[in-house]
Amino acid sequence: MTIGFRILTRNRAVTPELVAQFRALPVANVSDAMRRMTAAGPRLTRMHQDGTLAGPALTVKSRPGDNLMLHKAIDMAQPGDVIVVDAGGDLTNALMGEMMLAYAAKRGVAGFVLNGAIRDADAIREMNLPLFAAGITHRGPYKDGPGEINVPIAIDGMVIAPGDLVLGDGDGVVAVPFDAAEAVLAATRAKHDAETRQMAAIDAGTNDRSWVDAALKELGCEMPA
């Protein structure tokens, strides 16, 4: 075993049907369904114009500023994969730019999450393939390794295993563990349905706000009579 410089095989991944069902749901509701305990942090910024990121994770762990293993991951990716890279959050050198993104799009990659920097930001925004990154720099990457593919990685405390579901929208990025995906889907749908009913009540002027005063009283807040 060569720890730190190896490429493994992904043995499982969430199905396209499950990905499609999650794609229609807000990331915030998925986060709530997981008790608000999982997030990739506020540094990860949407670099594309619009649209939702959704797909099974193809994970990469790379030396900061080095994209050799990211290149290999793009070559390995299956259509619909989301390539997730833990490069330590370093922003000194970009991990990828316009040409790599164009090649990935041609191969059917669904998007990227990079705990590192990009360059060619204007072109990437125009291409509009879902991509979240921690920053932007014009300085290019190195291609020396080491790195690993299809190993568990972590970004700001959020663990992503190969084949986990990765989601991203304007609120950020969240990963749903493979084994919990069906349960999280059910909980997210229940949350989303409840919010839909609440929005309808707000629109109708019948939204019940009595819980606010009840919570304050329960907590011992002094209030006017």
Domain limits, the chain: 6-178
Task: Report the SS3 class of residue 105.
Answer: helix
* pLDDT exceeds cutoff 90 at 13: yes
pLDDT score at 2: 87
Angle, to 10 degrees, between the axis of helix 68-76 and the axis of helix 98-106?
20
- pLDDT per residue as tens digits for the range 175-210: 999 999 999 999 999 999 999 999 999 999 999 999
Residues 131-141: what's their mean pLDDT? 98
Q: Are 107 and 82 in contact (CB under 8 A)?
A: no
Please give the structure tokens belonging to residue 134. 């921690």
**Binding site, annotated residues for Mg(2+):** 120
pLDDT score at 201: 97
Residue % of the chain over a pLDDT of 90: 99
The pTM of the full predicted model, rounded to 2 decimals, is 0.95
Distance CA 89, CA 180 (A): 27
**Binding site, annotated residues for substrate:** 97-100, 119
Mean pLDDT of the chain: 97
pLDDT score at 72: 98
Architecture of domain 6-178: 3-Layer(bba) Sandwich (3.50)
Distance CA 133, CA 67 (A): 14
pLDDT score at 1: 66
Distance CA 136, CA 149 (A): 23
**Binding site, annotated residues:** 97-100, 119-120
Q: Are 117 and 94 in contact (CB under 8 A)?
A: yes
Give the largest CA-CA distance in the chain: 70
- DSSP assignment of 134-193: EEE-SPPPB----EEESS-EEETTEEE-TT-EEEEETTEEEEE-GGGHHHHHHHHHHHHH
Greater model confidence, 2 or 6: 6
Q: Indicate the pLDDT class of residue 225, thresholds 50, 70 and 90.
A: confident
Neighbours of 6 (CB within 10 A): 15
- pLDDT per residue as tens digits for the range 70-90: 999 999 999 999 999 999 999
- pLDDT per residue as tens digits for the range 38-57: 999 999 999 999 999 999 99
